[in-house]
């Protein structure tokens, strides 16, 4: 009988502890691991609402309760630690290679889109051995076939596997269409390989395919009047340097430096050596691959995020920022404002890659002290963010437009800003997925979206930035 009382007392104490944790401790509102806002507590509906009788409201309450558990991130990390050896192990133990199959969609929707994780166009459906390739979810898996994690403890590298076969047909045609639309403008095409091209261990190559095949196919389909900027060999020659981030899907700013140098040579413009830049370091950086892979070893392998800003160079930066909804569709445009091109992030920040322009959902215009009459427009995904800052000594103006966010008519924009050079600068996943957004830019009427800010000035003002 006494043992029964002890058991009941212990169970009540445990229950009270659990209730205290769930009802007293603060609930998180953002997941650093999943890079998303957590579910918000729903407002109590009116008595006339059907959500009470249908159970929709209680379902929302339940979703909020489970999605915002106290210590949620710590519990997820504990779960990942316990499951660390549950993935597919490849090769001998000393090689320490793990393959994480992508069996569910990540919450990092914006990054997934920029990696090409969208339905490819009809012309680019060339993967014969992949089932259900007409399905959007399956198409996402084609582009994001899993994460390869390799390397010793504390220095692991995580890379997206690539499952494209040739591809780039539509993207090449769009580049050609731009040259036809702007016959007096220099048009360039730079396809950026990802880390898997240079760092994939031999034992894991069965889980990925050749990015070089897609790059070569894309370049082979360009008109002679469109200049291919082949950076694959350039990056390969510097692969022993830190040209790609270990814990993020982006390249490192140093890789972008070598790519920008190759582009400047193709464009026949001056280019500054790295000695003319100031070096900055964000320590203990862990990027997007932690959330993509859910591999605790990535979290335990922070790296230095190193970026460079030009010395003794006067340049003026102006932004037009877009408001986007949860589906990443532009709903409004803000007034042009003065700002800095390079930001600052503290050590340990997972957002350090946003040091360039603060992100993607904007139009950026940089006026430099270079007076050669050359005005560059970069059409890019977020890989291009790290490249633009190296070209302030090469062009009189540098305009940066993201392929997901643009409300102008491209023909009007090129004319009004006297653009002389257009660089398509996208990673190979995006190239494989096609370039229909860029094609739409040529056709669309300015301001097709609701919520326009009528205060946007017609003349863009600029500010001095050192």
Query: CA-CA distance, 290 to 292, in Å (whole number)?
Result: 6
Name the burial class of residue 412, with classes exposed (0-12), middle (13-18) and buried (19+) by CB atoms within 10 angstroms of its CB: exposed
Tokens of 170: 């539509």
CB atoms within 10 A of CB 344: 10
Question: Can you give the pLDDT at residue 91?
Answer: 47
Chain centroid to CA 444: 25
pTM value? 0.76
Report the DSSP beta bridge partners of residue 422.
Answer: 187, 377
**CB under 8 Å to 170, separation ≥6 — which residues?**
121, 123, 124, 434, 435, 436
| 190/212 Cα distance (integer angstroms) | 13
Nearest to 384 by CA among 366, 362, 401: 401
Q: Quick check: helix, strand or coil at residue 56?
A: helix
Residue appearing with tokens 């897609």: 214
Would you list the domain boundaries of the chain? Answer: 2-44+57-78, 166-284+304-465
DSSP string, 142-157: HH---EEEESSTTS-E
Write out the chain's pLDDT in tens, 466 residues.
556 667 667 667 666 665 565 555 566 666 555 555 666 655 555 555 555 555 565 666 556 445 556 655 555 555 555 555 554 454 444 456 787 776 544 434 445 455 544 433 434 333 233 323 223 332 333 334 589 999 988 899 999 999 888 899 999 999 999 999 999 999 999 999 999 999 999 988 888 999 999 999 999 999 999 999 999 999 999 999 999 999 999 999 999 999 999 999 999 999 999 999 999 999 999 999 988 888 888 999 999 999 999 998 899 999 999 988 877 788 888 889 999 999 999 999 999 999 999 989 999 999 999 999 999 999 999 999 999 999 999 999 999 999 999 999 999 999 999 999 999 999 999 999 988 999 999 999 886 544 454 444 443 333 334 3
Q: How far apart are CA 346 and CA 411, in angstroms?
A: 40
């Amino acid at each position: 009988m006494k043992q029964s009382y002890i058991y009941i007392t212990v169970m009540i104490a445990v229950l009270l502890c659990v209730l205290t944790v769930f009802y007293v401790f603060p609930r998180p509102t953002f997941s650093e691991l999943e890079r998303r806002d957590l579910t918000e507590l729903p407002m109590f509906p009116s008595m006339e609402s059907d959500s009470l009788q249908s159970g929709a409201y209680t379902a929302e309450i339940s979703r909020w309760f489970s999605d915002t558990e106290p210590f949620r991130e710590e519990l997820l990390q504990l779960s990942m630690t316990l499951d660390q050896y549950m993935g597919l192990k490849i090769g001998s133990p000393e090689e320490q290679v793990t393959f994480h199959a992508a069996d569910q969609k990540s919450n990092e929707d914006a990054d997934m889109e920029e990696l090409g994780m969208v339905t490819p166009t009809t012309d680019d459906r060339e993967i014969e051995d992949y089932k259900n390739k007409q399905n959007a979810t399956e198409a996402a898996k084609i582009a994001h076939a899993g994460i390869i994690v390799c390397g010793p403890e504390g220095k692991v590298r995580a890379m997206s596997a690539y499952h494209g076969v040739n591809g780039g047909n539509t993207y090449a045609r769009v580049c050609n269409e731009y040259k036809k639309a702007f016959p007096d403008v220099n048009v360039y095409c730079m396809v950026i390989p990802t880390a898997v091209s240079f760092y994939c261990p031999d034992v894991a190559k069965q889980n990925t395919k050749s990015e070089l095949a897609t790059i070569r196919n894309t370049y082979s389909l360009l008109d002679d009047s469109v200049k291919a900027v082949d950076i694959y060999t350039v990056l390969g020659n510097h692969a022993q340097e830190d040209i790609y981030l270990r814990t993020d899907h982006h390249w490192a700013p140093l890789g972008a430096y070598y790519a920008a140098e190759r582009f400047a040579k193709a464009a026949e413009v001056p280019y500054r050596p790295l000695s003319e830049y100031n070096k900055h370091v964000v320590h203990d950086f862990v990027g997007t691959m932690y959330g993509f892979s859910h591999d605790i070893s990535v979290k335990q392998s922070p790296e230095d995020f190193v970026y460079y800003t030009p010395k003794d160079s006067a340049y003026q930066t102006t932004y037009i920022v877009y408001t986007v909804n949860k589906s990443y569709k532009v709903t409004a445009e803000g007034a042009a404002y003065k700002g800095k091109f390079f930001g600052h992030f503290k050590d340990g920040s997972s957002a350090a890659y946003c040091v360039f322009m603060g992100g993607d959902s904007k139009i950026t215009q940089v006026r430099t002290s270079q007076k050669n009459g050359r005005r560059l427009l970069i059409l890019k995904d977020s890989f291009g963010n790290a490249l633009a800052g190296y070209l302030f000594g090469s062009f009189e103006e540098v305009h940066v437009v993201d392929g997901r966010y643009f409300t102008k008519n491209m023909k009007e924009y090129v004319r009004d800003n006297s653009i002389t050079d257009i660089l398509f600068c996208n990673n190979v996943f995006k190239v494989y997925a096609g370039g229909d957004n860029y094609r739409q830019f040529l056709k669309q009427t300015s301001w097709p979206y609701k919520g326009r800010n009528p205060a946007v000035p017609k003349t863009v003002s600029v500010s001095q930035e050192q």
